[in-house]
Structure 1
Amino acid sequence: MHIHNFSLKNSILNTFISEIRDVNKQKDSMRFRRNIERIGEILGYELSKILNYNPSQIKTPLGLFNYESLENDIVLCSILRAGVPLHNGLLNYFDTAENAFISAYRHHKNNPESFEIIVEYLACPNLENKTLILADPMLATGQSMLATFEALKPFGTPKNIHLVSVIGAQQGVDFVSKHFDAETHLWIASIDESLNKNGYIIPGLGDAGDLAFGEKLQQ
C-alpha cells in the first residue's frame, strides 16, 4: 500500500488537526465540521496530483486555451455519519464525482472491549473500472474501512482505490495495508501510536460523529 502521511511535513494542515483535537475548540461543532471539511479539501488536492489527465481545449473570449482535464471517473464513498464533513471536503474539489453512502458502526455485545462492524444502509453507483475514494475520518482498527469495501464489491471492481482518513492509529494503518491491494493509496493527515482497550485512537480526538453532529443515544 502507498501511504501518504501528511503529518511528516509542516503545513497549514497541522493547524486544522490541532484544532479538531483541542478539547476547548472542538466544543464548537460548526468549527469542527468545517475543519474536517478543510482537511478533506487538502487531502483531495494532494490526491488529485496522481490521477490521470487528458489534453483538452476550451474557448475563452479572446482565444483558445489548452489544459489537462481530469480523466478518472470518481466515486466518493463515505461512512455515515462521521464521514459526511470529510465527504463534503472531497466533493468540493471533485465536484463531478458520483457518490456512495454507507452506514457502518461498532456493535458491542456484552463486552465493551469487543465489537463487530454492522452495515445496515448502502447506496452506491456502478464502480466498475472507476476510481473509488473511500472516506472515513477515523482509521482506528481499520475494520470499518474493510467492512465497507467488502459491502461495495457487488457494485463492481474499481480500477483504482484511495482511502482517505483524518486521524489513524498505526494498528489501523497496518490492518488496511494487509487487507487492501498493494496498489491502494492511503491519504491520511496524522497517524497516532496506539489504541486504548476499547479500540479508540490515543491521543485521537474522541468521537468524530458526536463532535460533528451531537451525542447519540446508545442502543
Structure 2
Amino acid sequence: MRLHVADHPLITHKLTVLRDRATPSPVFRSLVEELVTLLSYEATREVRTERVDIETPVSPTTGLRIGDPKPLVVPIIRAGLGMLDGFVKLVPSVEVGFVGIRRDESTLQPETYAKRLPEDLSNRQCFVLDPMLATGGSLAATVQFLFDAGAQDVTAICLVAAPEGVHHMEEQFEGRDVKVVLGALDSGLNEHGYIVPGLGDAGDRLYGVAE
C-alpha cells in the first residue's frame, strides 16, 4: 500500500475551516467538495489514458483522453456522498457505484447495509471516497469488495486519517496495488474511536443528525 499526504497551503487552509466546530453545514459541504477536487488531482495522477488524434483550429495534433474501461468511483454512504461532486467535477466521465457501511458504535466494527457495484471490475481502476479513515474497517471492507469483483488497483481519498486506520490498511493490503490520498494525517483515535483532532462526525456535519 502507498500513502500520500497532500502538502499544500490551500488544502491546509480549507481543512482548518472544515475542522472548526463553528463552521455551518452549507459551508462545510462546499469546502468538502473543494477539498476533494484538490485531492483528486493527486489521486488521479496515474489514471489510465489513451492517445487520440484531434484537429485544433490551427493544426492536427495528438493528445490524451481517459482510457476505457472508464474508472469507477465509489462513495461510502452516507458521508462519502458529500465528496462525490468534487470528484465528478474533475473526472466527469467516471462511472459511479455505492457502498453503504455503518460503524457499530459498541464494537467499532463495520456493518454493510447496501452495495451497488458492477459484478465484473476486471481491468478497472477504482476510487473510493470516505471523509474519515479512523479505524479503517469501513474503507478496508469497501476496498476488499472491489478486489473481490476483479479490480486491479484501488485509490482511496480521505480528508483526514488516524495512524491506526492507516496501519490497518497497510496490514490488510500489503503487496496489493492500493493507494491512500489524505488531506491530513492526525494524531490518533480517542476512546470512542473518533479521530483527534479530526473534524467530528462528517456525516452529521454534512447533512445534520438523522434520528
Q: TM-score, normalised by structure 1?
A: 0.89
Match of 1:211 in 2: 205
Match of 2:16 in 1: 18
1:174 to 155, 167, 171: 167
The Cα of 1:210 is off from its aligned counterpart by: 0.3
Match of 1:41 in 2: 37
Is the partner of 1:205 in helix, strand or coil? coil
Residues in 1 aligned to 2:135 and 2:9: alpha-carbon distance in whole angstroms = 27
Identity, % of aligned pairs? 26
Instruction: Give the 5 Å matches for 1:63-74.
Output: 63-71=59-67, 73-74=70-71
1:76 to 56, 73, 78: 73
Q: CA RMSD of the aligned region, Å?
A: 1.6
Residues in 1 aligned to 2:53 and 2:10: alpha-carbon distance in whole angstroms = 34
Q: Which amino acid aligns with 1:119?
A: T
Alignment: residue pair count: 208
Is the partner of 2:150 in helix, strand or coil? coil
| Cα deviations by residue, 1:35-66 (Å, 9 ceiling, x for unpaired) | 11111111111122222322212223443232
| Cα deviations by residue, 1:8-43 (Å, 9 ceiling, x for unpaired) | x34211111111101112xx2111111111111111
Provide structure 2 residue ranges, at least 5 long, that are not aligned to the other structure: none
Q: Which amino acid aligns with 1:176?
A: M
Residues in 2 aligned to 1:169 and 1:115: alpha-carbon distance in whole angstroms = 14
Do the aligned partners of 1:119 and 1:148 also contact (CA within 8 Å) in 2? no
Instruction: Give the 5 Å matches for 1:41-120.
Output: 41-71=37-67, 73-108=70-105, 112=106, 114-120=107-113
Residues in 1 aligned to 2:194 and 2:97: alpha-carbon distance in whole angstroms = 26
Is the partner of 1:115 in helix, strand or coil? coil
The Cα of 1:144 is off from its aligned counterpart by: 0.6
Q: TM-score, normalised by structure 2?
A: 0.92
Q: Which amino acid aligns with 2:209?
A: E
1:163 to 130, 150, 156: 156
